[in-house]
Amino acid sequence: MTPLLTTKGLSRSFGGLRAVDKVDFTLMPGEIRAVIGPNGAGKTTFVSLISGRIQPSSGAIVFDGADITGLPTYARVRRGIAYTFQITSVFANLSVYDNVALPVQLTLSDRRSKAELRAGVISALERTGLADRTHMPAGQLSYGHQRLLEVAMGLALKPRLLILDEPTQGLADSEIDNFIELVRDIAKSATVLLIEHNMPVVMQLADRITVFNAGRILAEGTPEAIRENAAVQDAYLGTAP
């Protein structure tokens, strides 16, 4: 099977800090991959490079066989890469419906079709459990529900790769179980790359786990292999809450 995403020697420096350091990474279609590691390990910088929010200092990014290293974010979105931010970035003054309608419009062949637009919005909101909050201003949602709204906005793009950065942050325990089922449902039609500190969520969801430390990949493997890896325990799991 051909990888959906690969990075080759991917690096990003900020002044004298090498936030991502010569990372070779491969992601297969349909996979749920978790990226974990201590704060400052380079996880968010890495996925920001993939999404195009920042440009690499060196290295290459290949998506579906095409080199996308120099492409801007909007071009990557059109190719099927969607990214939800670590810090919520919803449009607080717009309704929940209108927040999702914006990305849905990018997927429509006829942007004047109100029926298609509504169907796309309602589908994304139903999948994320927000259909009963359609007309509420996004800024009035709880923080956890704003996180889910961001996921809905990502789903509205019909992505081939959905990148989720700390998606369970702010979710109540009762909402996390629903989120796990949501990601499993998403993975039926898209590949999921997940940055997450909640280790029970990671262990339940991930097919494979990539562990970052000091800008480099420390280890990769199944949840079972990562749990038993002594180097990972020393660098991260042993000090995780």
Predicted local distance difference test score (pLDDT) of residue 110: 72
Instruction: Tell how many helices (H) and how many strands (E) occur in the chain.
Output: 9, 10
**Count of CA atoms in the C-beta half-sphere (13 A) of 117:** 14
Decide: pTM greater than 0.85. Answer: yes
Question: What's the CA gap between 36 and 207, in Å, rounded?
Answer: 13
Single-letter amino acid code for the residue at 158: K
Longest CA–CA separation in the chain, Å: 57
Domains in the chain, start-ordered, CATH in brackets?
1-80+159-241 (3.40.50.300), 91-157 (no CATH)
Predicted confidence (pLDDT) per residue in 94-151, tens digit? 999 999 999 998 888 776 788 999 999 999 999 999 999 999 999 999 888 998 999 9
Predicted local distance difference test score (pLDDT) of residue 104: 92
Question: What's the CA gap between 207 and 131, in Å, rounded?
Answer: 30
Q: Is the pLDDT of residue 18 over 80?
A: yes
| Residue in 101, 120, 113 with CA at minimum distance from that of residue 158 | 120
